[in-house]
Amino acid sequence: MADKSDVWQGTLALMVLKTLETMGPLHGYGIARRIEQISGGLLEVRYGTLYPALLKLEQEGFVSAEWGVSDNNRRAKYYGLTRAGKKQLAKEAREWDQTTAIIARFFSPSGEAS
């Protein structure tokens, strides 16, 4: 079985925004588990990386945060996608598609897109 990989630099914000779009408001632990679940257990989301990313997304206005109570009756900060976050997600998804298409050219047998 392969070791878990860290999330690629620059992709965590995109995965967080997409997770919140799909799942609705979640606390940090829930976001991390969902990203790990979607990756099939191949990615590991470290809290030292996740929480600064969430703070940055909040400061940029892409997510909102409010305190609530988790399923296990503990106080937890819940993050939700804002209208600006939805626009940012669409923008980043387009950029990701473009980037992966460019990289795919390097791995095609002829060096060109098919």
Task: State the CATH number of the domain containing residue 36.
Answer: 1.10.10.10
53 lies in some domain: yes
16 lies in some domain: yes
Give the pLDDT score at 67: 96
What is the tally of structural domains in the chain?
1
Pairing of strands 43-44, 5-6: parallel
Containing domain of residue 101, as a range?
Answer: 5-107
Q: Where are the alpha helices (DSSP H) in the chain?
A: 12-23, 28-38, 47-59, 83-107
- pTM here is 0.85
pLDDT-derived band at 1 (thresholds 50, 70, 90) equals: very low
72 lies in some domain: yes
- Strand-pairing partners, residue 66, are 78
pLDDT-derived band at 109 (thresholds 50, 70, 90) equals: confident
Convert the pLDDT of each residue in 44-95 to its tens digit. Answer: 999 899 999 999 999 999 999 999 998 889 999 999 999 999 999 999 999 9
114 lies in some domain: no
84 lies in some domain: yes
